[in-house]
Amino acid sequence: MNCIFRTIRIPLFLLGGFFLSSCAIQLEDCAGPLLNTQNLLSIQANRFFEGPQAYLVLPNPIDSPQLKLFDISQLNESNFRSAQLGVGLPELQNFSALENSFLKVRLNSIGDSPDKLVGVSELSAASKDVTHPKYSQVMAYHGISAITDYVESLGFSVDRSRELYVMVRSYPNPDPEPNALPQEPSKEMNAYYVHNTYSRKPRYIQLFGDVKYPLGADRDVFWHEFGHLFNESITANRGIDDASERGAIFMEGGGQFMSVLLIT
Ligand SMILES: [Zn+2]
């Protein structure tokens, strides 16, 4: 690789506005392509035809260029249909759930019964109602697959050493002990990424809140949570957010950066 280093100097000012000094940042100019957009576009095109297709409102009904609906009650069938975009669901390895060897989409818990999960034959029905938990499952599979393609086309790799379970209406404990008491979906609206690094269990993305406009209808939520997995992947499975509260705060910004700036 043909690289040169360039130094830029940034003036520092005291609060009073007097010029004090300057600090230097070393930038690296590389001759090779940093962002292989052509590669990304061809991956996206291939992905659409690679697996079954679904139709989603992207990134969500509020931020959709066609809808911009803050009142979901106005979401009638015709304007919803006109806002739906086709997405491919690549690498599915099961006809009765949205899953492959790494990514497993669930409703409440790891051990969901099959009737709670989206089968391949249900994709068009599941795409019709943005408030339905099955729609959230389709969005989860699409969202995580699309962002994984994105970062991998940039040249990064995503750590798949432990599986990723995504629960779109999670129970508080999605992996209960045998014979544990029955659980209810949480009313609290929130989303977590759970590393499970030390227990060596699968990773979880848990979405909470069975509400009118659920988090699972919003692709940005999955991209934010994926930001934590990406951070883990590029830091030898540790995660900057594991480094005390300051690391966690830093990484919340990183996760948000991923959801806001990475546009398909
Ligand atoms: Zn976060």
Please state the domain extents for the chain.
35-261
Mean pLDDT of 213-236: 91
Per-residue model confidence (pLDDT) at position 154: 82
pLDDT range class, residue 238, cuts 50, 70, 90: low
Mean pLDDT of 121-144: 94
Is the per-residue pLDDT at 171 higher than 90?
Answer: yes
Per-residue model confidence (pLDDT) at position 159: 94
**Distance in Å, CA 34 to ligand 1 centroid:** 26
pTM of structure: 0.80
pLDDT range class, residue 249, cuts 50, 70, 90: low
- Of residues 45 and 196, more confidence is placed in 196
Mean pLDDT of 57-72: 79
Per-residue model confidence (pLDDT) at position 73: 66
**Distance in Å, CA 114 to ligand 1 centroid:** 29
Is the per-residue pLDDT at 221 higher than 90?
Answer: yes
C-alpha dist (Å) from residue 232 to 12, 79, 164, 178, 254:
34, 39, 13, 29, 11
**Distance in Å, CA 225 to ligand 1 centroid:** 6
pLDDT range class, residue 208, cuts 50, 70, 90: very high
DSSP state of 214: -
Per-residue model confidence (pLDDT) at position 65: 80
**Distance in Å, CA 32 to ligand 1 centroid:** 32
> Which pair of structure tokens corresponds to residue 53?
């297709």
Per-residue model confidence (pLDDT) at position 69: 61
pLDDT range class, residue 34, cuts 50, 70, 90: low
Mean pLDDT of 106-132: 93
> Which pair of structure tokens corresponds to residue 192?
């977590």
**Distance in Å, CA 106 to ligand 1 centroid:** 20
3-state helix, strand, coil in the chain (%, to 5): 35, 20, 45
Per-residue model confidence (pLDDT) at position 170: 95
- List, for residues 82-113, the tens digit of each pLDDT value: 889 999 999 999 999 999 999 999 999 999 99
d(CA 84, CA 244): 41
d(CA 152, CA 15): 43
- Of residues 163 and 151, more confidence is placed in 163
**Distance in Å, CA 41 to ligand 1 centroid:** 28
